Amino acid sequence: MSGADIVVQVLADEGVDTIFGYSGGAILPTYDAVFRYNRSNKRDNGEAAIPLIVPANEQGAGFMAAGYARASGKVGVVMVTSGPGATNTVTPVRDCMADSVPIVVICGQVPKAAIGTDAFQEAPVSAIMGAVAKHILLVTDPSKLEETIRSAFEIARSGRPGPVVVDIPKDVQNWEGEFKGAGVLPLPGYNRRLSAVTNNRLTDAQSKRFYEMLARSERPLIYAGGGVINGNATKPMRRFAAEYGIPVTTTLMALGASDTTHPLAMHMLGMHGLASANYAVEDCDFLIAVGARFDDRVAGDPENFAPSAQNIAHFDVDIAEVGKVKRVDWHHVGILSRDLEDLLAYGRRINFGKDFSAWHAEIAELKDRYRLNFDRESELIQPYAVIEEINRHTRGEAIITTGVGQHQMWAAQYFDYREPRLWLTSGSMGTMGFGLPAAIGAQFAQPGRTVIDIDGDASIRMNIGELETATTYNLPIKVVVLNNFGDGMVRQWQKLYYESRMSGSDKSLHSKDFIKAAEADGFRFARRLADKSELESTIADFMAFDGPAFLEVIIDPDAGVYPMVGPGLSYARMITGDFIKSRETPDKTAPGPSEMF
């Protein structure tokens, strides 16, 4: 086979059913191989075995692959050309690394002899991507191409998942050699570290100590992070929580790990977490962190995070996260799903049981007293009301993607998530422009699901060219733009901490006609909602439409995201706004000059 044919055959062997990418000179041999493979291999419905989805921009391709991976749990695949094709994927690669999302990026590269000569469309991909990817592989020996591609998938999905970049010179793609059908690169260092985690089973002594802490506890709380979803550990975590009646609060990245409609589900904690969840963290006496990393959005003031906790336990797959931010009293580094099953099995073996009904009553009171709320009498359309109404239709079963900003937090707070992999957002990187291409990728991963992109007027403009991608492939994604004419989250911070100096946050986007843009890109349903009295009927029409649908909603420009915990502050200083109850008078201390969002 040619090197290009080998690449495509390994993709097929790995179960790849969709490729996202944009062509160019240095990747043309592999694009041609994809075409020839699909000409000979069809699905039962006659469609190509591995369709190649072409976006408007390589960044869009990267976020489509990320959306596909997040929604399916499989490895997403991106195929781009050299130079600008590769550099346009840097942001999605870093985004996937930050959120532990498995993708493989296959980059074309100039021929080996031209590397380092500033050849046409050459970029130092190894140097650039090495700083942001889980691993980077430059193929200089064509006889190792097959093993390299196969190893890329293994690295991407194993351990703590992440993005792997394979840089393939054009002459390696054109080389011809034997296809062996098996084999991976040795990778002794990686395999040694991976084996240390894989083979690290919970001991009876560790389990005994954990249950001793649980026995002394009256208010235990599970703090679940994105690792629960990335590690496919949702079911064992739910079984463990249900067995002993332990409430669960999740990070932004773990929404859906616990069914948000369950009585003991506390929904999201953190900077914009629900007040009830944050107060539960304040009150708990035993915090059980599962696949979470105590990041600055959750533990902005690490010393005062979970101040009443007599013990903190931490389960993770990455030893680097243990003790990095917050000292813990018990930890185990291993495979989350297996470890939780082993822990529950030990508890059943010793017949562990304890009555936490008093804590359950406190949890119910917290959820009732400090529930989300907003100005329901306003004549202006409130974004929360829009999401509440859409949620009434989706019932916690739709895939929700978002851009980044206020709309992202409103979607996190006001939607229900009954299952994992229904909430797709850029968490750690906070990348504007993520929502639309991620929704496209998610729709390919889950064609039977309703997929809704909740976006902002500023965020969607980052990758607005992907509107045409949605209609080109006739994807029934639903796009909602909550338009407040500017960067709402930036403005909120400027109001709180910069004496309302709106530097660069009001972009005067009033001349942008999103409806005409959507119609020009082929959306047959494209409407603007500006009258509160039409909210229910418009959303009903929007949700019922069969095909790509676009809805712009003109919202109250002063609507804020509450609750809010200022940067570097504890939950005791949480600001809850005018419509959500608070325990105390919030502290409005401004952050220092070095504090970030």
Mean pLDDT by 10 residues, the chain (597 residues): 98 98 98 97 93 98 98 98 98 98 98 96 96 98 98 97 98 98 96 96 98 98 98 98 98 98 97 97 98 96 97 97 96 98 98 97 98 97 98 98 96 98 96 98 98 96 97 98 89 83 72 94 98 98 98 95 93 95 69 53
pLDDT at 510: 67
1, 112, 121, 362: the active-site residue: 121
pLDDT at 503: 83
Rg, Å, the chain Cα set: 25
CATH architecture of 383-554: 3-Layer(aba) Sandwich (3.40)
Report helix, strand or coil for 277.
Answer: helix
- Looking at domain 200-369, which of 3.30.310.50, 3.30.9.10, 3.40.50.1220, 3.50.50.60 is its CATH number? 3.40.50.1220
170, 326, 367, 512: the active-site residue: 170
The question of whether 121 is a catalytic residue gets the answer yes
268, 462, 489, 574: the active-site residue: 489
pLDDT at 22: 97
Kindly report the pTM of this predicted structure: 0.95
The question of whether 170 is a catalytic residue gets the answer yes
The question of whether 489 is a catalytic residue gets the answer yes
245 touches 360 (CB < 8 A) = yes
How wide is the angle at C-alpha 202 spanned by C-alphas 259 and 287, nearest 5°?
45
Domain ranges of the chain: 3-197, 200-369, 383-554
Domains 3-197 and 200-369 share a fold: yes
120, 179, 579, 597: the active-site residue: 120
555 touches 484 (CB < 8 A) = yes
pLDDT at 505: 77
Domain 3-197 belongs in CATH node 3.10.290.10: no
pLDDT at 496: 82
244 touches 343 (CB < 8 A) = no
Q: Which ranges in 370-461 belong to alpha helices (H)?
A: 383-394, 406-414, 435-445, 457-460
563: cis peptide before it, omega within 30°?
A: yes
